[in-house]
Amino acid sequence: MLRKTIASAAALAVALTGGFATAATAAGEPVVERVLFSSIAPNSDNYDQWHQGQWDRQNLDGVSVSADGLHLDGKNQIIKGVDDVDSLTELVDSLAIDATVEVGTAWYQIPLYWGPQREDLPGDQADFTTLRKNVESDVDEWTTSRSIRNADDEVLLAAHLSRPIAEIVAILETAAESHSSAVKIAAYGFSSADVNSQTPAEATVATFTAAGTTYDFRKVEAPGSVAINGDAVVGSTLTANSAVVASTTVAYQWFSGETAIAGATGGTLSLTPELLNATITVQAAYSSNDYFPVTVTSAPVTVAAGTLAAPTVTVKGKPNVGKKLTAQPTWQQAPETVTYQWFAGKKAIAGATSATYTVTTDVVGKRLSVQVTGTSAGYTAAAATSDKTAKVKKLEVKLNAKVMKKPAKGDVRRVKVTVKVGKAPVVAGKITLKNGKRTVTRKIKKNAKNVVKIKVWAGKKVTVTYTPNKATGEYTKKAKTVLKKKQVR
């Protein structure tokens, strides 16, 4: 078993970028390019890429990859098509290989043309051949797979004969000149088989260097990383942002602390209230035929409380004493619980903590509003206050004076005065009655029947005035009514 090693260790340094490995080395050193197993076309005539040349093996049968490199089992050749290599001598000088030959022989391969590129001619008559050299040999001996003929079909070099490369170059140039053509290098690569005896061989190629590029076939861990995108707050969704190379699949598992979250195996994670204050990470497991499996873990994020969007709050109803007002909040996200507080001006109304509020006399003259607060587990509370209503108006006093049907003696009459103020329970104040030059005053006490009877003189105008006391005046107005002379009989 022989291992041919590339002289420059620097040429084997590989930098992985987006799954395609390239790295510029120091001046004069080859560029290193990683060749993925999936990029090698099976049994192909396509010279634009690495491929398995047509020989005894097809569909990459007998070709595999490991940490040691590309393994060829049996008669196999792996070559890469080129169209920018002009000098055969310089190409040969650039060749190097890091390979382990387990059985038989491994060979350099250089397919080329010297005529009009006609492969349809039978056997040795085609103007195409492959130059081969034993990778283990330090002797300058190259062998042709087919005879080299000139345009007159004269054999300039028979197939399977070994010659120094300079001699073969001269023969090829002579053959090309006879065709008014030029030598065209079609590809370069390597094979496993004894060229002359066609005995299958077995070899593992770690790297192969040609024309200033070192091709690295060794299988490595899948280069990849994973990060968490998104706001780590309850109610949001986190996304696993994986940087992965081509031909690689990824599987995810989300964690809360050290515990795998059941069912959280997709690229996203919805943050529920149960995850509040949890430390979240995501693992990405990369796998591929081109790479060894590898699992990477993101940096952790800590889940903070979400924020409920504040509602829009309106008040339904008229701000009049005795009327019912209703708070109507509109939520973007319905909270689990909702609380209310009604205000008269800037002061909270004691006990007014439901969605409805019946206006009382205590808030006459005030503008009303309601504050609505929503709470949900895992979220900070959200509150909003409605616009203020118009001022609650004072109650209109209904003052009624009526001469009673049953007359008193002589010119004396009795007038029944009634004071009503909506449904208000208290209308305390005083009644002032003017009858001619006579003035009579009566007090209406708190919780009284609000009815007084006063004697007046017939034939004289009666003026009745209701004046609320200080407390009642907070929510009622002064009222006045008149009985004309003809009404007082």
Rounded CA separation 282/230 (Å): 13
Claim to verify: residue 36 and residue 122 sit in the same structural domain: yes
Does residue 363 contact residue 343 with C-beta atoms inside 8 Å? no
What six digits make up the tokens of 353?
A: 């903590």
Measure the CA–CA gap between 36 and 230, rounded to whole angstroms. Answer: 33
pLDDT digits (tens, 9 = 90+) for 360-375: 988 999 999 999 999 9
Residue 5: per-residue pLDDT: 38
Q: Is residue 12 part of a domain?
A: yes
- Mark whether 211 and 318 lie in a shared domain: no
Residues 140 and 286 in one domain: no
Q: Could you tell me what percent of the chain has a pLDDT over 90?
A: 52
Mean pLDDT score of the chain: 85
Same domain as 326, residue 237: no
Domain membership of residue 251 as a residue range: 221-304
Q: Look at the chain and report how many structural domains it folds into.
A: 4
Q: How far apart are CA 306 and CA 310, in angstroms?
A: 12
pLDDT of the residue at 4: 40
What's the average model confidence in pLDDT over 64-77?
90
Query: Do 172 and 114 contact (CB within 8 A), yes or no?
Result: yes
Question: Is 411's pLDDT higher than 50?
Answer: yes
Max mean pLDDT among 39-48, 261-270, 409-418 falls in 261-270
Local confidence band at 18 (pLDDT 50, 70, 90 cut-offs): very low
Q: Is the pLDDT of residue 447 over 80?
A: no
Same domain as 36, residue 157: yes
Query: Is the pLDDT assigned to residue 337 strictly greater than 70?
Result: yes
Q: Kindly tell me if the per-residue pLDDT of 126 is higher than 50.
A: yes
- Tell me which of 251, 277, 304 is where a domain ends: 304
- Whichever domain contains 324, its CATH number is 2.60.40.2700
pLDDT at 20: 33
Do both 191 and 326 map to the same domain?
no
- Check residue 56 and give its pLDDT: 55
The pLDDT of residue 483: 76
pLDDT digits (tens, 9 = 90+) for 161-199: 999 999 999 999 999 999 999 999 999 999 987 655 667
- Please indicate, yes or no, whether residues 408 and 321 belong to a single structural domain of this protein: no
13-17, 92-96, 171-175, 259-263: which has the minimum mean pLDDT? 13-17
Which residue would you say has higher pLDDT here, 274 or 60? 274
Confidence of residue 297 (pLDDT cuts 50, 70, 90): very high
**Tell me: the pLDDT tens digits for 452-489?**
888 888 878 888 898 888 877 777 778 888 877 767 76
C-beta separation of 460 from 436 below 8 A = yes
Q: What is the pTM of this model?
A: 0.61
| Inside any domain, residue 392 | no
184 lies in the same domain as 39: yes
Tell me, yes or no, whether 165 and 53 share the same domain.
yes
212 and 238 share one domain: no
Residue 393 in any domain: the answer is: no
List CB contacts of 347: < 8 A, sequence separation 6 or more. Answer: none
Confidence grade of residue 407 (pLDDT, cut at 50, 70, 90):
low
337 and 300 within one domain? no
Do 100 and 169 have their domain in common? yes
What's the whole-number mean pLDDT along residues 434-444?
Answer: 87
